[in-house]
Amino acid sequence: MPFALWSVLIAACLPLLWAVISKIGARRYDNHAPRAWLANLDGYRQRANWAQMNAWEAFSPYAAGMVLAWVRQVPATTLDLVAGVFIAARVLHGVLYLADKAAWRSLSWLIGFASVIALFVLAARV
């Protein structure tokens, strides 16, 4: 199976990575009211939670674009390249969120979103 298709699973798991980082080692995690507990985080844990939310938001359009491009038979090598750029941008986005580097984080977000747009454009051109 091409990397492009595996990348959909990787993209689906990225929010879980940031969720674990936001919670691991934190005191008094309340599993009865996790959203209220998460809303009171600060520092890198708060930013990890924000990275998680943003990763969930980025997943749906990426998955839709990848499926559409695959169905439209965009060459697998092209899809692998776009997938690699998207995954790298999204991992970097989370790391930059944790490091509180807002401008660089926004740039990595833009690169990831451009990858999503590229999938739709490629699908339309086939």
C-alpha–C-alpha distance, residues 112 and 58, integer Å: 8
pLDDT for residue 112? 98
Rounded average pLDDT per 10-residue block, the chain, 126 residues: 96 97 85 87 94 98 98 98 98 98 98 98 96
The structure tokens 């454009």 sit at 121
Q: Is the pTM of this model over 0.75?
A: yes
Determine the pLDDT at residue 38. Answer: 87
| Distance (Å, whole) CA 41 – CA 49 | 8
pLDDT given for residue 118 in this prediction: 98
Could you tell me the residue ranges of all domains in the chain?
A: 3-125
- Tell which residue, 33, 34, 5, has the closest CA to residue 19: 34
With contact defined as beta carbons under 8 Å apart, do 115 and 82 qualify?
yes
Q: At the top level of CATH, which class does the domain 3-125 belong to?
A: mainly alpha
